[in-house]
Structure 1
């Protein structure tokens, strides 16, 4: 049994890249990231110190076995695929992509769906022009580690004026606690294109108790003028996994991004989801839910940065906290000087189900322009007893009444998942977490 990597630098990052026969530019790029990783400090999320988190188990390269059809996928992976798998699908198993499906019709239209590792060779310029240009490798130590070690990953390119009817699906799965599991999703949506993308991150670490798997992931979306990208993600991994997810979207004129995020992970969680509205008339809509149980520690940050005139952002985060879980929920709206007529709104709501749980909602507005609109709302509270009493007066038990209220509290996000099968799966995950 090999020992997971806990430290590395320039030479180790370059050696890994050469072992995978990556292009010279990517080897050099990883070298630089490896050196940064040995120097930079961990990020410092608001009110959530990371010093006690296990963030130095980087794993070793453990590629999965490539398959030609879904019938050949491992049973644990096949069981996670929603029934409505029309259109395109890509699957990562531990450290590599093992399956990709894209219809001939989409290929003829110029759509590209492949692993990011393959795209670095076959679509070199597109990758070089966009990879970690918004989530930069020198932001902090975790970003540098990701840049040096990302593996498998997803590259999606949607050409100008192409409207993809069915959601693109990605399943990112690990069942080896010693594997490097650091996928990077890179989406480039060209002018006036439309696409929905659904990401599912899951693990199955039966019999590997006591080991920590670091899921250090990133998403970058580049929506060109008039493009519309809908990105849905559901994370439900084992308690022995630390989930780190940095998500970024950059919007050109009249572009739109929708984030629909279910952070339902069972272990410690650090997520940061940000839209950068560079273009005039660009819009961003972010909906995020989370459920904390046990002794989980979660830092959930949602942000929007306005540069474009008449740009609009709306952020809604809803969290349910049980037992001794802690969640720090940050909403940050930044309106830069010159972003006249911008409108930034945010809402954070936390529902407390235990006196020992903790939930902090921190709305932040940073305004450098006068002719704008901005607002925020935040609340932390328990289940409304009047609502429980009303349902009980109609013959519903107290437990069922609370369950219905909680599901109603989370439904504004759950109902937006663009795949019926995944919505049903999300309901099952919620049932398990809420008990």
Structure 2
């Protein structure tokens, strides 16, 4: 059964770690996080009262059944894998990683793809040097709980000067509402390396399920000097699931990170995607779309923090709101003192399809340096009547005209997904959500 977080602490975290035979450093690390979870408060996202959400259940450790081959994966998981996904693949089922495929030619180049639990044993120093250093376990209660309870997870390491052409795919899947579902994805791209990573989070819970499943997930990307990481993510889970996802990237000199995020989950959402541009000449490009339906409550924050000289960031968020859904969309560009010649741009656009839907776009610029460029744009409105009229004058019905406009509104993100099969799946998800 699920247990309230108020009963969770240092001893419970240590007992869980020992039950999985984790290394001593990780047991102690989880102990500290368990203690923090008892004292820290929940995060306080703007205008989103998450204290009313069911965040006090974390489930129990329930590993999925391991598969030796892709053909052995359960049908519910196989159905979510695009037909063109024959390259590197890792699957987490409920609380554990159950399948990994990494081609031999990538292994020969030194590429590592494993569960984070296994990497804590086999690549101890790499994990210790990076794990939750971008997303701290002491930030708030949810980060402490994540640190104490993360399970399965993904560890990807790309050595210096290695370029991987085919996207690496991760499927994070749950079909047990009583399972602890807290994956942590850790990507370390060494100097001058290049990789595309595609993450998909999905659930298939029993019909009529009334138990709240909490996805308390985290992503950390370390893009070393000259490295280029493209990270695409699509979340589409059952309405009874709460999606809490914190994503962080730290960029060294001349490094680049691209975020391509589809927040298409059916339940409440709290996400925070941040790039920390430490290095000179570093570059971050974030594109995020979301569709809110029913009575969903969403808090979507995108951030870029500039430390490096000549660093550049661009953030674009586009949301479509239906029925009685509510979205608070925050864009935060912070240029620190000393980040001369930095350039930070952001755009938030919300399309309203119902008089009862609500979308707040909040662009924020925090500038502590003079010799920089920064700008923002935000808009909240309905489907453009002139565009609808133009299409209808060409013989297209009003409903189809609005559908075309909405898909065009979201296409800047959809078209960037680096797997054709997943792009097609994303279109199907959009069709379902937009009706």
**TM-score w.r.t. structure 1 length?**
0.99
Distance in 2 between residues matched to 1:209 and 1:158, nearest whole Å: 40
Residue pair 1:177, 1:208 contacting (<8 A) in 2 also? no
Quote the offset at 1:4 in angstroms. Answer: 4.3
Distance in 2 between residues matched to 1:385 and 1:304, nearest whole Å: 34
Structure 2: gaps (5+ residues): none
Quote the offset at 1:5 in angstroms. Answer: 5.0
Quote the offset at 1:207 in angstroms. Answer: 2.7
Distance in 1 between residues matched to 2:171 and 2:128, nearest whole Å: 24
Superposed, which structure 2 residues align to 1:325-364 within 5 Å?
325-364=325-364
Distance in 2 between residues matched to 1:3 and 1:426, nearest whole Å: 32
Residue pair 1:135, 1:248 contacting (<8 A) in 2 also? yes
1:307 aligns with 2:314: no
Quote the offset at 1:208 in angstroms. Answer: 4.8
Call closer, same or farther: CA 1:333–1:394 in 2, change over 3 Å: same
Residue pair 1:4, 1:179 contacting (<8 A) in 2 also? no
Q: In structure 1, what is the equivalent of residue 252 of structure 2?
A: 252
**Range with greater deviation from structure 2 (110-119 or 6-15):** 6-15
Distance in 1 between residues matched to 2:199 and 2:365, nearest whole Å: 30
Q: In structure 1, what is the equivalent of residue 316 of structure 2?
A: 316
1:175 aligns with 2:175: yes
Q: In structure 1, what is the equivalent of residue 29 of structure 2?
A: 29
Q: In structure 2, what is the equivalent of residue 116 of structure 1?
A: 116
Distance in 2 between residues matched to 1:360 and 1:85, nearest whole Å: 37
Q: In structure 2, what is the equivalent of residue 432 of structure 1?
A: 432
Distance in 2 between residues matched to 1:266 and 1:275, nearest whole Å: 26
Quote the offset at 1:117 in angstroms. Answer: 0.2
Superposed, which structure 2 residues align to 1:122-201 within 5 Å?
122-201=122-201
Distance in 2 between residues matched to 1:366 and 1:259, nearest whole Å: 21
Residue pair 2:2, 2:58 contacting (<8 A) in 1 also? no
Superposed, which structure 2 residues align to 1:21-420 within 5 Å?
21-420=21-420
Distance in 2 between residues matched to 1:3 and 1:155, nearest whole Å: 27
Q: In structure 1, what is the equivalent of residue 421 of structure 2?
A: 421
Structure 1: gaps (5+ residues): none
SS at match of 1:381: strand
Call closer, same or farther: CA 1:412–1:18 in 2, change over 3 Å: same
Instruction: After superposition, give the CA deviation of every residue in 1:313-372 in whole Å (9 maximum; x if it has no partner).
Output: 000000000000000000000000000000000000000000000000000000000000
Residue pair 2:2, 2:57 contacting (<8 A) in 1 also? no
**TM-score w.r.t. structure 2 length?**
0.99
Hey, which bits of structure 1, 4+ residues long, moved more than 3 A? 2-7
Residue pair 2:341, 2:372 contacting (<8 A) in 1 also? yes
Instruction: After superposition, give the CA deviation of every residue in 1:92-148 in whole Å (9 maximum; x if it has no partner).
Output: 000000000000000000000000000000000000000000100000000000000
Call closer, same or farther: CA 1:362–1:314 in 2, change over 3 Å: same
